[in-house]
Structure 1
Amino acid sequence: MNSITSSLIRSDGGGLLFGWLNPNKLLIRNSYTLSYTSGGGNSFSLGTLTSSFMYQISDPLFIVLDLSLVHSPYNNLGSDFSRNVTGLYLTRAQLNYQPSDNVLLQLQFRQFPTSYWLNDYYFETFSPFHKVQKEEGN
């Protein structure tokens, strides 16, 4: 077997979780962040609980997964905001291959909650064009 396959699947299963996951090569970290944003009479807070899983598949190959549970403990934007932002997100799935000190190949996927502060949905009343649209009947 090649080194990647042999590091994932072991026939003896001794000391391995489910016969293939070596707990000595697994690192788990947890963090919680709480942020608060306010502007133009609107405000919200976001809480994020993130669990990071780092696993060494083989000597030059690592995988990193971040799972985040996001919620809004406070906002004055309505229940739609809380409903749309609350959820479980795969905030990072990353594969690192570093065959030498000077070479690193990294493939990464990221997923974040919808960014309403970059969207005009909730903050359109603060746009100078919003007043023009209302006056024109749009």
Structure 2
Amino acid sequence: MNITTLQFGELTIAEKEVFTFPQGIPGFEQNISYIFIQPDMESPFIFLQCVDNGDVALLLTNPFEFFPDYDLELSDTVVTELGIESKEDVAVWSVVSVGAQLEEATLNLLAPIIVNVNTRLGKQVILHGSSYNAKHKLMQSVPSDNK
């Protein structure tokens, strides 16, 4: 199938590449089909490109690469909805928001994108009652040595 995207132009994708988010993603509830695009294999960033609307693409990253102590527990409801049978089924992504400068980038640790790589089902999950928020600084500023 062919899709036209704002970010990547015309793409040819196979049906087996598509992940389904049955409830959509908050703010994009009407869009349920997505693919993952990694334009640079060396980069920790990946795009979640909507198949239903080529204008919609979210920048994601693996939160554990930036926050190794990140801890989340999925509810039984989410495990059932996504058909998760083992930890190996699960991929966890966080939405990255980039400001005017890269140093302003934040990571949403409160509402990760959870996908089952086997069933190809996904969901953005809000971690109610957690200490995480939606705007964790991605890059901590380095203090200057100038005195």
Which has the higher Rg, Structure 1 or Structure 2?
A: 1
Q: Shorter-chain TM-score category?
A: under 0.3
Structure with the largest fraction of helix? 1
Indicate the structure whose relative CO is greater, using CA pairs within 8 Å and at least 6 residues apart.
2
* TM-score, with length taken from structure 1: 0.24
Structure with the largest fraction of strand? 1
